Amino acid sequence: MTNLLELSTKPVKKQQVQPEPEPVNASLDRQTGNGSKDISGCFDSDSLIGPIGRDNSIVCLLRCSRSEYGSLACLNRSFRSLIQGGELYRLRRQLGIVEHWVYFYCEDANNWDAYDPKEKRWITTPPMPNDLCFKCAGKEQEVAQNMPSECFKFSRKESLAVGTELLVFDEVFEEQIGLRYSILSNSWTFGVQMNQPRYHFASASLGQMAIVAGGVDKFDNVLNSAELYNSDTRCWVTIPSMNKARSMCSGVFMDGKFYVVGGESSDDDILSCGEEYDLEKQSWRVIPNMAAGLYSEESFSPLVAVARNELFTTDYLEWVLKKYDKKSNVWVTLGPMPLKRELAQWCNLAFCACGDRLLTIYDFRAYYGGLIEIYSWVPDNDGPPQWNIITERDGIAVQSCTAMGC
Please enumerate in sequence order all residues whose Cβ is within 8 A of that of 276, keeping only pairs 6 or more positions apart, or say none: 257, 258, 259, 284, 285, 287
130-183 tens-digit pLDDT: 655 545 555 444 443 444 344 444 455 789 999 999 999 887 666 777 889 999
Q: Which DSSP string do the residues of 205-259 spell out, in sequence order?
A: EETTEEEEE--B-TT--B---EEEEETTTTEEEEEPPPSS--BS-EEEEETTEEE
23-64 tens-digit pLDDT: 433 333 333 223 334 434 444 445 677 788 888 888 888 888
pLDDT score of 231: 93
**Average pLDDT in the 334-357 region?**
83
pTM (two decimals)? 0.82
pLDDT score of 366: 57
Task: Look at residue 353 and give its three-state secondary structure.
Answer: strand
State the average pLDDT for the chain. 79
Domain boundary assignment for the chain: 23-97, 303-406
Sorting pLDDT into bands at 50, 70 and 90, what band is 224? very high
Closest CA to 40 of 27, 23, 25, 22: 27
**Average pLDDT in the 251-262 region?**
96
pLDDT score of 345: 65
Closest CA to 31 of 18, 45, 42, 20: 42
C-beta of residue 185 within 8 angstroms of C-beta of residue 196: no
- In angstroms, rounded to a whole number, what is the distance separating the alpha carbons of residues 245 and 267? 13
pLDDT score of 32: 27
Q: Which of 263-267, 303-307, 344-348 has the weakest average pLDDT? A: 344-348
Find residue 375's DSSP bridge partners: 360, 389
341-350 tens-digit pLDDT: 766 666 778 8
The amino acid sitting at 301 is S
